[in-house]
Structure 1
């Protein structure tokens, strides 16, 4: 029986913690490198993560495996953000904040496209579509219940409206242009006031 305060045998928990830390560093470094260039090498990613290439390949034996994990990790974070934002903000504000996150994801995704072959790109698009639509639906339903957006708008339509996020050039004006266009999208989702309501100031 292990005495209280005795460190775990063979340092296994410590090794697991180190492995998780290295994995997190690798994903962060890969995301940054691939956002800059879809042709980023495994060597450049390892260097940015501050680890050896051997450690990198132990976690991700191929470049494709690493790129796939970066994409899936980002989609999962994006989807998980929807209920978290609703818990902390009014529905319409939560939707707008989530769209900001979608914009950031779109910026990263544009850098990843060059790293995917056609088959992989289609596979990932299929994997991510359903969860993203569910996240938008969750946000829209909350907004509709609060009377903050039109009742007839659907999640698929919102995703089509923000399709510019995958095409907009990531230059020095990216943030300003993206914010303005997302504002226009949000204005289009707002419940239209009737003439009588406008006249009464409602």
Structure 2
């Protein structure tokens, strides 16, 4: 894709994310206008409303999963895991906000979630491995989903700190020589 096409696609996805999470019946024309492109440009990238919705969801999933190696490079293992957990909670909030829009995609027989769980588990495994944590990524994800259900941001932060503490404690125990226990 040409640079301007990549830029336009990114703008459309950004505007669509905001629109689909805040406006129930937003039109594609309104999304195109807000992105500063013509409706033809929108349709060249996303031939249907459902294609745009699915692309928005998949883009958010990719951002979350692609963040794992980047966070490890810049923050170190513990801080990277904690930051990723915060991002996971934000991702789940976005997914909830997209619920109505995603229902239209699902109604067409498309499963936008088909590979989501496996991709997130792989990203989480990348973050857990350097810590030496012998924890199942899906178990951690289940706990994070439970935390995301909480409407109290302060309590959610404390719960994430507890999860981190448990992971780090388990990793420390795994690192101890067998006879030191």
Contact 1:91/1:142, CA 8 A, preserved across alignment: yes
Is 1:41–2:17 an aligned residue pair? no
Once the two structures are superposed, what CA deviation does each residue of 1:11-48 show, in whole Å capped at 9, x if it has no partner? xx8xx222111111101101111222454331332232
Give the counterpart of 2:166 among 175, 188, 192.
188
Q: TM-score w.r.t. structure 2 length? A: 0.81
- For residues 165 and 57 of structure 1, do their structure 2 counterparts lie closer, same or farther at Cα, with a shift above 3 Å needed? farther
Is 1:79–2:57 an aligned residue pair? no
- 1:112 maps to what in 2? 98
Larger Rg: 1
- 1:179 maps to what in 2? 157
- For residues 187 and 139 of structure 1, do their structure 2 counterparts lie closer, same or farther at Cα, with a shift above 3 Å needed? same
Distance 1:36 1:176 in 2: 24
Q: TM-score w.r.t. structure 1 length? A: 0.73
- 1:134 maps to what in 2? 122
Secondary structure of 1:28 counterpart: helix
Contact 1:165/1:178, CA 8 A, preserved across alignment: yes
Give the counterpart of 1:123 among 90, 111, 114.
111
Give the counterpart of 1:70 among 56, 64, 72.
56
Contact 1:109/1:166, CA 8 A, preserved across alignment: no
Give the counterpart of 2:41 among 35, 47, 55.
55
1:166 shift after superposition: 5.1
- For residues 133 and 86 of structure 1, do their structure 2 counterparts lie closer, same or farther at Cα, with a shift above 3 Å needed? same
How many residues of Structure 1 are paired with residues of Structure 2 in the alignment? 170
- 2:176 maps to what in 1? none
- 2:138 maps to what in 1? 156
Contact 2:131/2:168, CA 8 A, preserved across alignment: no
Secondary structure of 1:123 counterpart: coil
Unaligned runs of 5+ in 1: 1-12, 195-202
